[in-house]
Chains A and B, each alone.
Chain A
Amino acid sequence: MTLENVLDTIAAVCMITGALLSLAAGVALLRFPDLMSRMHAATKPQVLGLLLMLTGCAIRIGALVDITTMVLIAIFQLATAPVAAHMVGRAVYRDGHTRKDLLIVDELAPDADKFTEVSPDQSRQTPGAPR
């Protein structure tokens, strides 16, 4: 078994693992009960799946110029994904789409009246209520 075969095997394992993480996120998007847990599942292909796939890509291509580009891709993804997730999570809580019965601890609840006009539970149960 030559060195190239070993490297190809490592790259293939990395890429198949990354694809499996994407599949896990797809299953979780369909199966998980509420938005917060779906957001938790959504980070798997965004971070670890992409990093594994780029690792496999770097092993396969192996040119320094392209590996630099891949490092840039990883940095940009790692820098932007949390910002988007933060904004979405903020909107989820403020619009009352969280399932309170699934939360173990809700540290925002004591201050909820500072940024929402109605309590999230009320707005979910009676969507036609005046706000």
Chain B
Amino acid sequence: MMTYAAVAVTVLLTAAGAMALVRIVRGPTTLDRIVATDVLLAIIITGIAAEAAFSRDPTALPVLVVVSLLGITGSVGVARFITREKS
């Protein structure tokens, strides 16, 4: 039964990641791409957690700690960079 669950989760996450990638490629503004990149990062974290769950192997969990802690830097940096300030 776990095999079916693994296949279902993989298919769902792959479809979600593909749609986020389409938005990154098409997104009319940079901010669209930042939001889509955040979603893609969340999907990647979810996928790594799913892999750890299905194989009962906690090796990848420290990677998730780092990614969830540092995922903020990209979007904050770009958002600060492109905001027009009143001079």
Interface of B is mostly: helix
Interface of A is mostly: helix
Query: B45-80: contact bitstring with A at CB < 8 Å (1 yes, 0 no)?
Result: 110011011101010011011001101100110011
Cross-interface CB contact of B53 among A53, A73, A117, cutoff 8 Å: A53
Query: B12-25: contact bitstring with A at CB < 8 Å (1 yes, 0 no)?
Result: 11011111101100
Total interface residues in chain B, CB < 8 Å: 52
Asked if A80 is an interface residue, CB under 8 A from chain B, the answer is yes
B65 proximity list for chain A (CB < 8 A): 69, 72-73, 76
Which residues of chain A in 40-66 are interfacial with respect to chain B, using CB atoms and an 8 Å cutoff?
A: 42, 45-46, 49-50, 53-54, 56-57, 60-61, 63, 65-66
Asked if A109 is an interface residue, CB under 8 A from chain B, the answer is no
Which residues of B line the A interface, CB within 8 A? 1-2, 5, 8-9, 12-13, 15-20, 22-23, 29, 31-32, 34-36, 38-39, 42-43, 45-46, 49-50, 52-54, 56, 58, 61-62, 64-65, 68-69, 71-72, 75-76, 79-80, 82-87
A77 and B68 contact, CB distance less than 8 A: yes
A19 and B13 contact, CB distance less than 8 A: yes
A57 and B2 contact, CB distance less than 8 A: no
Cross-interface CB contact of A19 among B9, B22, B36, B52, cutoff 8 Å: B9
A35 and B79 contact, CB distance less than 8 A: no
Which residues of A line the B interface, CB within 8 A? 8-9, 11-12, 15-16, 18-20, 22-23, 25-27, 29-30, 35, 38-39, 42, 45-46, 49-50, 53-54, 56-57, 60-61, 63, 65-66, 69-70, 72-73, 76-77, 80-81, 83-84, 87-88, 90-92, 94-95, 97, 114-117, 131
